[in-house]
Amino acid sequence: MRAIAPRLPDTERLLRLFGLLFIVAALLASASGIAHDLSEANKTYVQSINGPAPVPFFYLGAKHMVTGIDHILFLIGVVFFLYRLRDIVIYVSLFTLGHSTTLILGVLLGTGLNTYLVDAIIGFSVVYKAFENMGGFRRIGLSISTKLAVLVFGLFHGLGLATKLQDLGAGKNGLLANLISFNVGVEAGQVIVLAIVVVMLNFWRATPSFARGAWGANLLLLAAGAALTIYQLAGYFAS
């Protein structure tokens, strides 16, 4: 008979969670300096463009998705327990519909949120999905439509993209063409990320360690999402 690993005491589990939060927050803080430099370089380049430039904006959109840790973590949470291709397509389509809508309308209408606040909400979306994957809502007797939640959080992810694109200072000349190119680039980057994530998850699911490690993996997702949220809120209150 296989021995069952003892559950960690609640205090020890909380200490480990806070330790994870500290490590992830430290990594985010060090990475933010690099990201800021890249943003400044992108801003200078974008402001030099006058007219339609589909290739550069496609590249910027794809790069933002592939290097956007908050978007990647949320997508990992969304597909973590999706085994059928049909389900993956449905959920990813809802996410795409959400972020494409607010990305395009946000830029065209010139609307957006404070960068720190919208990124904090995006970080919270990772916390939400990880907590759901861990069965947290079921344990507290709360029923939330997963599809609706993915769509709503997709709207905030798109609003974050719109805010960042507006911060780059794209010119009005050729804006619609450049915006569409940026959005297509985001979708291309999303496909690349999803392909890698789904392949890796499928390999892991084929091993006995998946059943044992799924809860811990989502705990890491939750810790990373909480660190992102705390980091962005700290930036908001410090600004």
Q: Which residues contact 203 (CB under 8 A, 6 or more apart)?
A: none
Q: How far apart are CA 50 and CA 177, in angstroms?
A: 12
Domain residues for 157? 14-238
Q: Looking at per-residue confidence, does 211 or 9 come out higher? A: 211
Residue 8 belongs to some domain of the structure: no
**pLDDT value of residue 100:** 92
Span 79-119, pLDDT tens digits: 999 999 999 999 999 999 999 999 889 888 887 778 889 98
Residue 178 belongs to some domain of the structure: yes
Residue 2 belongs to some domain of the structure: no
Task: Extract the tokens encoding 100.
Answer: 């494409």
Exposure string over 94-115, b if 16+ CB within 10 A, otherwise e: bbbebbbbbbbebbeeeebbeb
**Burial class of residue 215, CB neighbours in 10 A (0-12, 13-18, 19+):** exposed
Contact status, residue 232 vs residue 119, Cβ threshold 8 Å? yes
Span 149-183, pLDDT tens digits: 999 999 999 888 888 888 777 667 878 888 899 89
Residue 199 belongs to some domain of the structure: yes
What's the count of helices (H) and strands (E) in the chain, helices before strands?
A: 9, 0
Total-model pTM = 0.81
**How many domains are contained in the chain?**
1
Q: How far apart are CA 58 and CA 189, in angstroms?
A: 10
Span 218-229, pLDDT tens digits: 998 998 899 889
Residue 233 belongs to some domain of the structure: yes
Residue 72 belongs to some domain of the structure: yes
Residue 1 belongs to some domain of the structure: no
Q: How far apart are CA 51 and CA 114, in angstroms?
A: 27
The chain-wide mean pLDDT, for the chain, equals 81
pLDDT (average), residues 192-210: 90
Residue 2 has pLDDT above 50, yes or no: no
Q: How far apart are CA 214 and CA 204, in angstroms?
A: 10
- First and final C-alpha spacing in the chain: 58
Residue 107 belongs to some domain of the structure: yes
